[in-house]
Amino acid sequence: MKLLHKPWLWSWVAAAAAFALTVTLTGGSGASELAYAALSFGAFAAIVGLGQMLVITLGPGNVDLSIPATMTLAGTLALKTMGSDPGTAWLGLGVAILVGLGTGLANFTLIYLLRLPPIIATLAASLVYQSIAIWSNRGLRIKPPEGLADFATGRFFGISNVALVGLALSVVIWVLLERSVWGRWLLASGQNLRAARLAGIPVEAVRAATYLAVTVFAAIAGYLLASFSGGAALNMGTEYLLMSIAVVVIGGTSIAGGSSNVPGVWGASLFMFLVVSMLNSYGAGAGVRLILTGTIIIGIVIAASTRRATR
Amino acid sequence: MHSAAAAAAPIVALTDAAKHFGAVRALDGVSLSISPGECLGLVGHNGAGKSTLVNVVNGGLSPSAGTVAFPASGAGSALGAGVRSVFQELSLCPNLTVAENLRISHAALKGLRWRGQAREEIAQALDQVFPGHGIAADAPVDSLSIAQRQMVEIAIGFAPRGTEARLVILDEPTSSLDAGIAEQLLSHIKRFCAAGGAVIFISHMLGEIFAVATRIIVMKDGRVVADEPAGRFTRQGLVDAMGHVAPDAAAVEAARSFGETVVTTPEGLTARRGEIVGLSGLAGHGQAEALARLYLGATSSWRAPKAAPMVFVAGDRGRDGVLPLWSILRNATVSILPRIARRGLVDRAEESRIAADWKARIGIRTEDVTNPILSLSGGNQQKVLFARALASDAPVVVMDDPMRGVDVGTKQDVYAMIRAEAARGRTFLWYSTETEEVCQCDRVFVFRDGQISAELSGADITEERILSASFEMAEA
């Protein structure tokens, strides 16, 4: 059975189960609201998860821990530049993308020139990014321009706009990985960096582009999240540190590198939102909720990896 | 060999043993017995079933049909019968020391002093097989060269390890050893068999087979097609039995003319357009490093132009060549992606066409090029790496001992292909541990201690000249 061997299957099965269990409790009412909310909130996790997936595909030791700080910095600077003035949405997006390019460039410079392990380089650099965000924010909460806020919280044919942006980005990444030369180079570098270099692949360019892509995705997510929630907050990125890695792993991307999985990231992002709302609706307290979430994640990862091992 | 009755009984006896993987009959009914004192030479093309036969004998695979028995020892398992294997793909743990690696297959080493005992035993085994080896028992395996690792692996195979080795299976043991070390191994095999042990010796180098085997079996398509005392075979007869008619050694061509010099390195290595330049000398004397430096210097980690200036054929497949998660197709085309892409997207029809073309030209044994690369035998994986390099238009091809584990027939095909490409103006730099291959080159540089000790060309390229240049400077 070929479908059973698809590594993304398990995250979607888990998301569907969490959805069904929640809806069962409410007797079927609120199903569409739940699906809408899952898509909206899941989209943020999916966008940062896609970036993290690319980095993890580069192979063992590659991970970007500066995602939360980059989200915060991009959200803060973009809203400050726009200053709630109408018609500045694209300017704000441009600022956010520039912030993403800047932090990505800084991360990769530390990794390449100073030969720091990515885990150290991105974590240390993120302290700087967070400090800049604190310094430029100064406790002010600037509202996004009205049109942008409407877009971020709005919907199109019943699907939230944020989810549509996330889906569009996913399609781009999928085409890149499956069809493009650059995607092939990334997948080859993740399997065996030395062999990839000896096959003529410009591995450092591939690594640089990947570390830039992850922060640009984080910056876009930060910009959308700030617009969605009515302003940037200094802790807005915190939960996405674990989330970005969890959705990649649950989604079936290999931690050993060289294999990516776009649909799995979406399944996992929906699951991560749905499992919390399921536990909420069953009345679990905060402590119980965290323990159960952790246990369920471990269970999914084990289920997914044993499936793959028997392939 | 402990009693008169046991001495006569074979160490291992196979009756109609077969092994099927799905529809593939890797082993198709083989009956075979090996007695003490025998050295069995096992030859056949890549994918003929040699490795499968070995794995059935050593208990790694259980036969789908037929039986495997160990009459001499009466043991129920290969392990109990003293059957040992030394594999073509190195199986040592690189992060452990030489002595610690011995412990992995030697469960009797226990207690506080086990490291001391392991050091003693492995040092003794190494001294016995390779006198003057220069390998410290405390050295971590990842600090050893590939030849030294192979030596350790062989020594572990022959080590007593609490019982006694009765039958040692050597699968391509000399592929990464230079001539001197290989000679030491062959003499050890003769001593071992004279003392009542038995050996199965698999090699693509027919010279070695004739030097050491008392009996030769030829395999083809999972069957034994010939089984005779070694004296009854001639070299040509053996090649014919394998089912591949080797073309007559190409008549010595008229001296060809070459173009301008296209490669120069700090070591003094030069190559002209259309020339096949060989790198020789004892293994691990800087040839591979010189080629890697040359390749990495000529290409960039930042840019991949459509027309690559140079391509690399890896000999150490696992470390330098194979991309293990990918199909044969993707492995074969990875170096030519910029050329077959339109606006950054890979032209997949063109890609399939090129892969199918090379599958046919170089004879990759597979039903479908979309199968995983790891489904191929080692020699066929090597063919894919050749296809990867030759499919590109690069004017210079760098080859780092690329014929390891490749069978005689394919070697002849690849030699012919290299000569044809050279005639069309491509330049080849070819490092090989096999003198026979180096003798195919137009010009040969012999390396000693990381430096060039001799440059030979034309009629000067002989095994004697190469060997003497390999050792000369050591005596000085």
Is residue B109 helix, strand or coil? coil
pLDDT at B431: 92
pLDDT at B249: 43
Maximum mean pLDDT: which of A9-13, B50-54, B103-107, B187-191: B187-191
pLDDT at A212: 95
pLDDT at A266: 93
Chain A to chain B, count of Cβ pairs less than 8 Å apart? 84
Dihedral angle, C-alpha B233, B228, B406, B105, nearest 10 °: -140
Q: Tell me if A181 and B341 make a contact (CB, 8 A cut-off).
A: yes
Residue A254: list chain B partners with CB under 8 A: 325
Alpha-carbon torsion B352, B354, B360, B362, what sign? Answer: negative
* CA dist., res. A131 & res. A154, Å (int): 32
The answer for A 19-38 residues in CB contact with B (under 8 A) is none
Residue A184 has its nearest CB partner, among B296, B312, B346, at: B346
* CA dist., res. A289 & res. A277, Å (int): 10
Residue A180 has its nearest CB partner, among B301, B308, B345, at: B345
pLDDT in tens, A153-208: 888 887 889 999 999 999 999 999 989 999 999 999 999 999 999 999 999 999 99
When mean pLDDT is compared across A293-297, B128-132, B191-195, B295-299, the lowest value belongs to: A293-297
Maximum mean pLDDT: which of A27-36, A173-182, B5-14, B164-173: A173-182
* CA dist., res. B420 & res. B276, Å (int): 11
pLDDT at A139: 61
What is the rounded average pLDDT of the residues B380-391?
Answer: 90
User: Which of the residues B301, B339, B350 would you substitute to probe the A interface, choosing the one with the greatest number of A C-beta atoms within 10 Å?
Assistant: B301
Residue A175 makes CB contacts below 8 A (sequence gap 6+) with B345
Residue B314: list chain A partners with CB under 8 A: 195, 198
Residue A200: list chain B partners with CB under 8 A: 299, 304, 308, 311-312, 334-335, 392
pLDDT at B22: 66
Alpha helices by DSSP H, listed for chain A, are: 9-25, 31-57, 67-82, 89-113, 118-137, 146-153, 161-179, 181-191, 193-198, 203-228, 240-250, 262-281, 286-309
Closest chain A C-alpha to B321 CA, distance in angstroms: 5
pLDDT-derived band at A311 (thresholds 50, 70, 90) equals very low
pLDDT at A50: 95
Same fold, B4-241 and B261-475: yes
The pLDDT of residue A48 is above 60: yes
Alpha-carbon torsion B248, B254, B258, B264, what sign? Answer: positive
Neighbours of A181 (CB within 10 A): 21
pLDDT-derived band at B473 (thresholds 50, 70, 90) equals very low
The pLDDT of residue B9 is above 50: yes
* CA dist., res. A131 & res. B281, Å (int): 59
In terms of CA atoms, which chain B residue is nearest residue A209?
B302
In terms of CA atoms, which chain A residue is nearest residue B332?
A199
Please name every residue paired with B14 in a beta bridge, in sequence order, or none if there are none: B32, B68
Is residue B136 helix, strand or coil? coil
Residue B303: list chain A partners with CB under 8 A: 202, 205
pLDDT at A214: 95
pLDDT: which is higher, B330 or B467:
B330
What is the rounded average pLDDT of the residues B137-145?
Answer: 85
For residues A31 and A23, is the Cβ–Cβ distance under 8 A? yes
Identity of the residue numbered B14 = L
Q: Cα–Cα distances in Å, from B38 out to B215, B331, B372? A: 7, 41, 38
Strand order in the sheet with B451-457: B310-313, B396-400, B427-431, B276-281, B443-448, B451-457
User: Which of the residues A180, A184, A186, A191 would you substitute to probe the B interface, choosing the one with the greatest number of B C-beta atoms within 10 Å?
Assistant: A184
For residues A276 and A19, is the Cβ–Cβ distance under 8 A? no
pLDDT-derived band at A306 (thresholds 50, 70, 90) equals low
* CA dist., res. B118 & res. B106, Å (int): 9
Q: What are phi and psi of A2, to 5 degrees?
A: -70, -35
Neighbours of B279 (CB within 10 A): 27
pLDDT-derived band at B165 (thresholds 50, 70, 90) equals confident
User: Which of the residues B325, B329, B370 would you substitute to probe the A interface, choosing the one with the greatest number of A C-beta atoms within 10 Å?
Assistant: B325
Length of chain B counted residue by residue: 476
Is residue B278 helix, strand or coil? strand
For residues A12 and A255, is the Cβ–Cβ distance under 8 A? no
* CA dist., res. B263 & res. B429, Å (int): 9
Residue B345: list chain A partners with CB under 8 A: 175, 179-181
Please name every residue paired with B413 in a beta bridge, in sequence order, or none if there are none: none
Per-domain residue ranges of chain B: 4-241, 261-475
* CA dist., res. B62 & res. B75, Å (int): 16
Taking any CB pair shorter than 8 Å as contact, residues of chain B touching chain A are 292, 295-296, 299-304, 308, 311-312, 314, 319-326, 330, 334-335, 337-338, 341, 344-346, 348, 388, 392
pLDDT at B243: 67
Is residue B385 helix, strand or coil? helix
The pLDDT of residue B302 is above 50: yes
The pLDDT of residue B401 is above 90: no
pLDDT-derived band at A309 (thresholds 50, 70, 90) equals very low
Alpha-carbon torsion B112, B116, B121, B125, what sign? Answer: positive
* CA dist., res. B385 & res. B378, Å (int): 11
Mean pLDDT in chain B? 84
Q: Tell me if B334 and A184 make a contact (CB, 8 A cut-off).
A: yes
Closest CA to B268 of B437, B447, B403: B447
The answer for A 176-215 residues in CB contact with B (under 8 A) is 179-182, 184-185, 187-188, 191-192, 194-205
pLDDT at B63: 87
Dihedral angle, C-alpha A159, A160, A162, A165, nearest 10 °: 30
**H or E element: which one contains B148?**
helix B146-158
The answer for A 76-115 residues in CB contact with B (under 8 A) is none
pLDDT at A237: 86
The β-bridge relationship of strands A159-160 and B83-86 is unpaired
Question: In A112-121, which positions are buried (b, 16+ CB within 10 angstroms) versus exposed (e)?
Answer: eeeebebeeb
* CA dist., res. B363 & res. B70, Å (int): 38
Residue B315: list chain A partners with CB under 8 A: none
pLDDT at B6: 44
pLDDT at B176: 78
Q: Tell me if B320 and A194 make a contact (CB, 8 A cut-off).
A: yes
pLDDT at B246: 41
Query: By percentage, how much of chain B surpasses pLDDT 90?
Result: 18
The pLDDT of residue A261 is above 90: no
pLDDT-derived band at B434 (thresholds 50, 70, 90) equals confident
The pLDDT of residue B222 is above 50: yes
Closest CA to B231 of B246, B208, B213: B213
The β-bridge relationship of strands B276-281 and B39-44 is unpaired
Is residue A96 helix, strand or coil? helix
Question: What ipTM goes with this model?
Answer: 0.85
The pLDDT of residue A222 is above 90: yes
Instruction: With 0.90 as the threshold, say if the pTM is over it.
Output: no
pLDDT at A282: 82
pLDDT in tens, A268-299: 999 989 988 888 888 878 888 888 878 877 88
Q: Tell me if A198 and B321 make a contact (CB, 8 A cut-off).
A: yes
The pLDDT of residue B27 is above 50: yes
Query: By percentage, how much of chain A surpasses pLDDT 90?
Result: 48
The pLDDT of residue B408 is above 80: no
What is the rounded average pLDDT of the residues A64-90?
Answer: 89
Residue A203: list chain B partners with CB under 8 A: 301
* CA dist., res. B273 & res. A183, Å (int): 34
Q: Tell me if A205 and B334 make a contact (CB, 8 A cut-off).
A: no
For residues B210 and B62, is the Cβ–Cβ distance under 8 A? no
For residues B386 and B359, is the Cβ–Cβ distance under 8 A? no
Q: Cα–Cα distances in Å, from B219 out to A291, B3, B11, B247, B380? A: 60, 33, 21, 21, 17
CATH T-level topology, domain B4-241: Rossmann fold (3.40.50)
The pLDDT of residue B245 is above 60: no
Neighbours of B20 (CB within 10 A): 15
The pLDDT of residue B254 is above 60: no
pLDDT at B81: 85
CATH of domain B261-475: 3.40.50.300
* CA dist., res. B405 & res. B408, Å (int): 10
Domains of chain A in sequence order = 3-309 (1.10.3470)
The pLDDT of residue A235 is above 50: yes
Rg of chain B on CA atoms, in Å? 23
